[in-house]
Amino acid sequence: MSEIRTLLDVKKSGLLGTSNFDNIINSSMQVLSDNPELVFQRNMDIGDTPISPMTLEDDYTPMLFLPEVTDAYKKLVAMINVPATAKEYSFILLGKSGILQGEKCYLIDQMIDCNAKDSDLSNRVTRMDDQKLNQTISFALQHGYDFISIGHTHPAIPEKEKLITIANFLSAEMKEKEYIREPGLNLSLQDFISYESLYQYFEKNPNIKTAQTVIMFNGEMAMISKVGSTLSRSIILMDRETGEEIYVSSKEEFVKKKAENL
């Protein structure tokens, strides 16, 4: 994919499909223009634009996790809430389609570590090991998996670092309109850019569903996928054995919390 520097670049790339994030992208670009220190000190660019998972269309296809995958998810949530281990960890989820009560679902039975070396891990940048990624995709294809998701964590970051994020500089009105929460609880435009490569690799193979999964420090799992020009977010995520639901945010909850904080 060619370099993305402007809103026009985003539109030409087609990575957001029919989703319209023009307002938040333009606001983020204005923040960067008004605060050049973010660009020079933090090496930030348009890819750091915060995007709320709540603004995507809902996908009601059930995503069922084997207990060992649920356990791995819970361990990651615990790790990214402890300062010493609050990093962006990379992984891949693999699953196979099936039928649940007459409807299609996916059973996710693998969460595979795809971290780069521990010394390269950061709390603001995702570093996936390309060799592990390629090996895992080859494994998936050889063993009949038809769901493949790249993924990473969004850890809790220190208060000082929150002050130098784009989300911190957005107006209260923009945050409310676009459902933007504190840093670490949003997707970023870079998450969509990273996912686009996987999506394009399998675009001509409609039998394989791809996704980008982000596990946030509040326990939310934001699983986004693209079919044609439509981006959506899976909202039915649960442990297959216990029926325990994995947290997915909602606009209603966002509005309620806003009202409670007034």
Q: Specify the DSSP element, H or E, that contains 189.
A: helix 189-202
| Mean pLDDT confidence for 228-239 | 95
Q: Domain map of the chain by residue range?
A: 7-260
Over residues 235-257, mean pLDDT: 96
Residue 2 has which token pair? 């060619």
- Range in 57-66, 85-94, 116-125, 145-154 the model is least confident about: 116-125
pLDDT greater at residue 141 or residue 262: 141
Q: Which pLDDT band holds residue 17 (cuts at 50, 70, 90)?
A: confident
Largest CA distance in the chain: 55
Strands (E), the chain: 50-51, 57-59, 63-65, 90-100, 103-113, 147-154, 187-188, 209-216, 221-227, 230-234, 237-239
pLDDT at 258: 86
Instruction: Say what the pTM is.
Output: 0.94
Task: Sort strands 90-100 and 230-234 into parallel, antiparallel or unpaired.
Answer: unpaired
pLDDT for position 79: 96
The fraction of the chain above a pLDDT of 70, given in percent, is: 98
What is the Cα–Cα distance from 112 to 94, expressed in whole angstroms? 8
On average, the pLDDT of the chain sits at: 92
With a cut of 70, say whether residue 131 has pLDDT above it: yes
User: For residue 254, what pLDDT is reported?
Assistant: 95
- What is the pLDDT at residue 157? 92
Question: Which residues neighbour 260 within 8 Å (Cβ) at sequence distance 6 or greater?
Answer: none
Cα-Cα-Cα-Cα torsion 7, 157, 120, 65, nearest 10 degrees, comes to: -80
Give CA separation, 252 vs 54, 139, 249, 259, in Å: 10, 40, 9, 11
pLDDT at 14: 82
